[in-house]
Amino acid sequence: MRDVALVGVPLDLGSGRRGTDMGPSALRYAQLQAELESLGYRVTDLGNVSFPVVERLEEGDPRARYADAIVRVCEEVDRAVTAALRQGALPVVLGGDHSLSLGSVAAVIRDRPETGLLWLDAHGDFNTPETSPSGNVHGMVLACLVGLGLPPLVRVGGFGPKLAPQHCALVGTRQLDPGERELLRSSGVRVFTMKDVDRYGVGEVVQRALDAVTDGGKRPLHVSLDLDVVDPAHAPGVATPCAGGLSYREVHLAMELVADSGTLLCMDVVEVNPILDAQNRTARLATGLVASALGKRIF
């Protein structure tokens, strides 16, 4: 029996709107633990990392808002995920905005430096303080992981960069800021936009991405799933919705292919915003997607 550890990160400092701090509660309310236990996993909920009172924080540099506080939260995420990995569990990190991945990826790479990263997101998350039009850190995370950006963010966990660009693949992208588009083009990160999904099909695109970042299944895999990769028709409760995303079945197929790869080491589920949701629909979808990534099958 495989162990799964749930780690809640009630973080919304990296986003331009409040609400993703309630994402972990919404996912728990959607019966995530029971769903995974029904698949035969032994699930331990480690609770939430501590989180500061937003109203008592200084925003700091407007080019990277709340960066200092985000670093502190992500260091806690790093410690929690590290503890879970050392106990032999597969961590599922419940967000919270995408900034939390600075901590979860730090833990995974320290434990297994050869790990590849699959990043499913409507956005590139490849801004730096110089290119970001908003200063929102959740739009800088992937750049930080490959060594670009504000040094304290790059060095969460005490080291950086975390990954070589060729070990990262971005899938489902359809909205990029001008500066991050240029950075991505020159970065070496593999980018599969919705045009690629439309042209080749989601199965082909996700398999190419998985093969690239895991070297054909030889490397372990970290999946970072931003629910805004899904079309808002199916996932309305996200911080930054963007039309034209993956359908219900397409995103489930993506997660089923992750399960088929047999390489999953850790998973982030981020940007669920219950304030913007309808009857917890997005968290219920997210619960099903985690189950698919961990092996739930139709037949």
Check if the beta carbon of residue 124 is closer than 8 Å to that of residue 180: yes
Q: Which one of 21, 35, 196, 226 is the catalytic residue?
A: 226
Rounded Cα–Cα distance for residues 194 and 246 (Å): 8
To the nearest 5 percent, what fractions of the chain are helix, strand and coil?
45, 20, 35
Rounded Cα–Cα distance for residues 247 and 86 (Å): 36
Q: Which one of 35, 78, 123, 268 is the catalytic residue?
A: 123
Spatial CB neighbours of 19, under 8 Å, sequence gap ≥ 6: 12, 239, 273, 274, 275, 276
Specify if 197 maps to a domain.
Answer: yes
Q: Which one of 12, 98, 222, 277 is the catalytic residue?
A: 98
Residue 53 has what pLDDT? 78
Rounded Cα–Cα distance for residues 196 and 48 (Å): 37
Active site residue 111: no
Checking if the pLDDT of 272 tops 80, the result is yes
Specify if 299 maps to a domain.
Answer: no
For residue 120, the enclosing domain spans 3-293
Residue 96 has what pLDDT? 95
Q: Which one of 97, 180, 196, 271 is the catalytic residue?
A: 271
Q: Which one of 121, 180, 231, 277 is the catalytic residue?
A: 121
Active site residue 68: no
Check if the beta carbon of residue 39 is closer than 8 Å to that of residue 296: yes
Active site residue 123: yes
Active site residue 226: yes
Q: Which one of 21, 97, 138, 277 is the catalytic residue?
A: 138
How many folded domains does the chain comprise?
1
Residue 259 has what pLDDT? 98
Specify if 29 maps to a domain.
Answer: yes
Buried b (16+ CB within 10 A) or exposed e, 233-245: ebbbbbbbbbeeb
Rounded Cα–Cα distance for residues 7 and 245 (Å): 27
The rounded mean pLDDT for the chain is 97
Spatial CB neighbours of 218, under 8 Å, sequence gap ≥ 6: none
Specify if 67 maps to a domain.
Answer: yes
Specify if 282 maps to a domain.
Answer: yes
Rounded Cα–Cα distance for residues 96 and 126 (Å): 18
Q: Which one of 21, 97, 196, 228 is the catalytic residue?
A: 228
Residue 55 has what pLDDT? 80
Specify if 184 maps to a domain.
Answer: yes
Residue 54 has what pLDDT? 81
Active site residue 167: no
CATH of the domain at 18: 3.40.800.10
Q: What ranges make up the beta strands (E) of 79-204? A: 90-95, 116-120, 168-173, 190-193
Read off the amino acid at residue 108: V
Active site residue 125: yes
Checking if the pLDDT of 1 tops 80, the result is no
Active site residue 21: no
Closest by CA position to 221, among listed 254, 196, 176: 254
Spatial CB neighbours of 196, under 8 Å, sequence gap ≥ 6: 205
Specify if 220 maps to a domain.
Answer: yes
Specify if 298 maps to a domain.
Answer: no
pLDDT in tens, 86-142: 999 999 999 999 999 999 999 999 999 999 999 999 999 999 999 999 999 999 999
Number of H helices, E strands in the chain: 11, 8
Active site residue 177: no
pTM across the whole model: 0.97
Residue 72 has what pLDDT? 97
What's the rounded mean pLDDT across residues 188-199?
98
Tokens encoding 80: 């929690």
